[in-house]
A and B are shown apart, each in its own frame.
Chain A
Amino acid sequence: MSTFTIARIDLKRLAVRPFAWTLAGIVLAMMAWQFLLGVSAFMHAQPTVPGPASGPGFTDAVVAPYLLNYIQLCLMIAPLVTMQALAGDRSAQRLALLSASGASGAHIVFGKFIARLAFLWLLLVVVATVPLVLGGATHPDWGQFGAALIATALCVAALTAIGIACSAFTPEPALAATAALLIGEALSLIDAGLRITGGEGGWLGYLALHTHLAPAMRGLVRSEDIVYFLLIVALALALAIHRAAAERERG
């Protein structure tokens, strides 16, 4: 009950803040621009003489890169959306108010996670609606589209959880955002060198976001990829809960 009450309070606060609307507006404008560029490039790549279809289809050429672009944006906006979650509430004594009202560390962390994830997933729904507008004309591969969407949603959940954990461990919201951004970028770029040289990934490759996004963007939902994202969410939230529960001891 407390979890949903806290999520409800935070969603309400997000909904009345100009910050969230400005962020949503900027993200949607950037995504619309990316989509138009993708469609334009796809149109130019089409053969002018009618014949059998060859090369990447609409989903490969437009939708998958478009959703990857949303993930790239989320690397930056997830830290901004989550930075105030616990760090801001702690400095304003609101964390103590929640605690004094009977909410446990787990209730607080889950509530704040659910609110921010709902906001970013809502943006994802709007972002994902854009390719659907052309669905009738382009005949997208719905299986591949679904797989890419699932991977994007899970990746956004992982980035949100990392942001919440950073917010739990840092006293200042700006510090939390910086830490979350660095961790997100590190996960995104950790195997960049290996990708360029084409070397074996090993555990470094396993840690990289790209390793687990690439198969889904090709339409392949692998359980190991789902487990990877869920592990990040579970680990980050467990750390945040541990830190929030220790507030009474630390002061």
Chain B
Amino acid sequence: MAKPPALLQLDHVSRRLSGREVLRDVSFSLQREDVLGLLGVNGAGKSTTLAIVAGVLQPDAGTVRIDDRVSNEGLCTIRARIGWVPESVPLWPELTVSESLDACGRLRGLSKPLRRMACERELARLELQAVAHRLCGQLSLGQKRRVGLAQALLHEPDLLVLDEPGNGLDPVQTAQLRELIGKLSPRRGIILSSHELAEVEAMCNRVVILHEGRVRHDAKLDGEHGKLDAQFRAIAAQPASAAA
């Protein structure tokens, strides 16, 4: 029996930003129900990779495929299958949480009854009912992250793209995030970036290590903490010239 196409497939993706080559020949794939951790030190190219996957940045070279469909073709259809939460969560500070979710539902083209249902579902799923009528600008960082996640999940995307989801969260919130990702993963693929090995190990079943814009390691997590830790340290310690 033929293997189903990967939910996400990056082939030889390269990208320059401000004259600097941020990504070089990046290739990896993600199956449905996979939680892939993109690990790398600051400036490794994680956020750029995720922005390209989310369709907000275009690769200079290479292709991004969602279910075997090149993401540049029929971009709107592809975007409808992706939920993206960037590192600094984009919110409208003057709108309440409910209004913000409703606006995102409208942007996604959800009808009024569907929008109402989706908003209630996400408010409940992310435990945001208590702050539903608070202005987004008045929320704590953890609450903002949850609102960002609710915005990304409104249209039930097949692929969830999370950029540094654990940044700035306290231990309780981090534990809640891990639990939530565990609940979300059975029906979709999740790709998240982090520079913390422990976070990736706790949430992901696969890891891709990026260094200087290149994939340096791509494997399933086998629970051998010490091995991956040593590998990550060795890669991160490599100078730029070695990575090239």
A interface residues with partner B (beta carbon < 8 Å): 1-2, 5-6, 8-9, 12-13, 16-17, 92-94, 96-103, 247-249, 251
**Are A248 and B57 in contact (CB-based, < 8 A)?**
yes
Question: Which among A12, A103, A251 has the greatest number of chain B C-beta atoms within 10 A?
Answer: A251
Residues of A within 8 A of B57 (CB): 248, 251
Q: Can you list 28 A-B contacts (CB < 8 A)?
A: A1-B106, A1-B109, A2-B109, A5-B107, A8-B106, A9-B103, A12-B94, A13-B95, A92-B90, A93-B86, A96-B90, A97-B84, A97-B90, A97-B104, A99-B55, A99-B56, A100-B54, A100-B55, A100-B79, A100-B84, A102-B80, A102-B107, A102-B109, A247-B56, A248-B55, A248-B57, A248-B58, A249-B58
Residues of B within 8 A of A103 (CB): 107
The interface size bin for chain B is: 20 to 34
Residues 11-39 of chain B, each 1 if its beta carbon lies under 8 Å from chain A, else 0 = 00001010000000000000000000000
**Are B17 and A251 in contact (CB-based, < 8 A)?**
yes
**Are B94 and A94 in contact (CB-based, < 8 A)?**
no
Residues of B within 8 A of A13 (CB): 92, 94-95
**Are B58 and A93 in contact (CB-based, < 8 A)?**
no
**Are A96 and B79 in contact (CB-based, < 8 A)?**
no
Main SS at interface, chain A: helix
**Are B90 and A101 in contact (CB-based, < 8 A)?**
no
Residues of A within 8 A of B104 (CB): 97, 101
Residues 99-113 of chain B, each 1 if its beta carbon lies under 8 Å from chain A, else 0 = 100011011110000
Question: Which among B15, B48, B86 has the greatest number of chain A C-beta atoms within 10 A?
Answer: B86
Select from chain B the residue with minimum beta-carbon distance to A1.
B109
**Are B94 and A98 in contact (CB-based, < 8 A)?**
no
**Are B86 and A96 in contact (CB-based, < 8 A)?**
yes
Question: Which among A2, A12, A94, A102 has the greatest number of chain B C-beta atoms within 10 A?
Answer: A102
**Are A101 and B107 in contact (CB-based, < 8 A)?**
yes
**Are B17 and A100 in contact (CB-based, < 8 A)?**
no
Residues of A within 8 A of B88 (CB): 92-93
Question: Would you give the shortest CB distance from A64 to chain B, in whole angstroms?
Answer: 37
Interface check B209, CB cutoff 8 A: no
Select from chain A the residue with minimum beta-carbon distance to B56.
A96
Interface check B82, CB cutoff 8 A: yes
Residues of B within 8 A of A96 (CB): 51, 56, 86, 90
CA distance A13 to B108 in the complex (A): 20
On whether A102 and B94 interact (CB within 8 A), knowing A2-B107, A251-B17, the answer reads no
